[in-house]
Amino acid sequence: MSDETKESTKNDLARGMAALDRIFVGAPYAAGSELTLADFYTFFSFGLAGGIVQKIFGDDLLADHPKIQGVIARMAEHPSVARVTAEQSS
């Protein structure tokens, strides 16, 4: 990947994360007080995206996003997420 593409992508990613921060509730779930599909999406999407960002840029995607980190931590304890995660490991 060219340096120009990396820089452009990193800038777009920062803008996207800032936009997400403006609408992400995280109290206690992504969209508010009720568990929704957004919480499952948050858990699985940011797990993948975080790994990609770490590999390409060497950055922690969620370092400055404690609300998202909190939802991911809560979702990791959800029985269906725990089951899927366990099945992925075996």
pLDDT for 1: 85
pLDDT for 90: 86
Residue 79 has pLDDT above 90, yes or no: yes
Query: Which residue would you say has higher pLDDT here, 89 or 79?
Result: 79
Residue 72, Cβ neighbours under 10 Å: how many? 21
pLDDT for 37: 97
Closest CA to 44 of 30, 28, 55: 30
d(CA 35, CA 37): 7
What predicted TM-score, i.e. pTM, was given to this entire model? Answer: 0.90
pLDDT band at 26 (very low <50, low <70, confident <90, very high): very high
Domains of the chain by start residue, with CATH: 3-89 (1.20.1050.10)
Q: At what angle do helices 79-89 and 66-76 cross, to 10 degrees?
A: 80
